[in-house]
Copies of this chain bind each other. A is one copy, B any other.
């Protein structure tokens, strides 16, 4: 159709212009992306960078292979959790030495939830008030966050009078729940950017509201770190956790991070008190005495190979401001949405039954767009087969992620053309796309 050719040509011209104006465009060449792939799943697993690849070889062959055990000193493995933590701190507006890299995001969540509960119990005892027994969260939080509260509750509730309870409410009811039940809530635990629809919580306002009710806050930054500007210190956030294999491109299952406000470190007690969190780990003392600083969150020996690769991946962020990343992320997000809408508008409406499952404004959502479709799974598989790697989130969400470091605006146009064409032609109905045998 001529009108469609004209539209495609116009959009291509626009995409090229946006590429030219993009100050981050050249970073794509720092990544080792496969040929003929548009990778819009960096929000699930960030891709390999040249720096990460080189470091993998170095840490395995040079450090482990040649320097062996002495690498703990000569290659400073022992300080890697704080070295990496400090690189992340800069990206989330945290003070130096308040972020540490270790374990997984789930394990770190357990440490900080427990620590928050202990602090809250101490405060209640000091104030001679009843212990607070609720953890307030959101029904559609990422499940692991809810599961960790449930697991901690089962442990704590065995044989004790005080029952720890998860209170999970709809997003719209969070403020009201704080207002109504504030005196019973120990911790407000939320994910800053929702994994399904990309909704962004007002971190500052909710933190302030919670604090006014004596509630500690714990933010999950899995979908924020490295792509949304954050000011943890300025907002007086108490605790945060995050993961490093999404926008930080740290590699599959790269270790998580944990943040604790400096003012809370002296009185903090976390139950996963392994030897590396000890004040003097190599004195091998009988009794645990926690390290004074953020190192108190360390537990066992960290996965050095994975953490080294992450360390190298983070170096790319040294010269980039998170505001620039956010600006480009919004622009990519907006341009993709606009391409999809314009292409669909040039066909009959019945050909494009993709329903937006997120806020309509790119600047109001995280670095992703979500569509609802009864065949979202099959559409996602069809997209992958045509080189557009996106992901599916049960039950019916197609999620497209916008990593500003390696995506160009022309990638957005091409992804939009392929997506709309797959939906329009129903190519996703081919049998190989319909069988749901994949795990992610």
* Residues of chain A having any CB pair with chain B under 8 Å: 32, 34, 37, 39, 41, 44-45, 47-48, 52-53, 56-57, 60-61, 63-66, 68-73, 77-78, 103-107, 110, 114, 117-118, 121, 131, 139, 142-144, 146-148, 150-152, 154-156, 158-162, 168, 243, 245, 251-256, 269-275, 277-278, 281-288, 299-307, 309, 384, 389, 391, 393-394, 438-440
Interfacial chain B residues near A118, Cβ < 8 Å: 154-155, 158
Pick the residue among B53, B302, B389 that contacts A65 (CB under 8 A): B53
| CB-based contact A251/B131 at 8 Å | no
Contact A151 B440 (CB under 8 A): no
**CB contact between A286 and one of B143, B159, B389 (< 8 Å): that residue:** B143
- Which B residues are CB-close (under 8 A) to A69? 41, 44-45, 389, 391, 440
Tell me if B47 and A65 are in contact (CB < 8 A): yes
Are A278 and B160 in contact (CB-based, < 8 A)? no
A237–B77 CA distance with the chains assembled, in angstroms: 35
Structural contact, A121 and B158, CB atoms closer than 8 A: yes
Closest to A76 in B: B439
Contact A162 B162 (CB under 8 A): no
- A254 to chain B: closest CB distance in Å? 7
Partner of A303, one of B105, B139, B306: B306
Most buried by B among A72, A114, A143: A143
Q: Would you list 10 pairs from A and B whose C-beta atoms are within 8 A, ordered by A residue?
A: A32-B65, A34-B66, A103-B103, A103-B300, A148-B273, A151-B288, A159-B162, A252-B301, A253-B301, A306-B306
Bound together, the chains give a CA A316 to CA B4 distance in angstroms of: 59
Q: Are B107 and A304 in contact (CB under 8 A)?
A: no
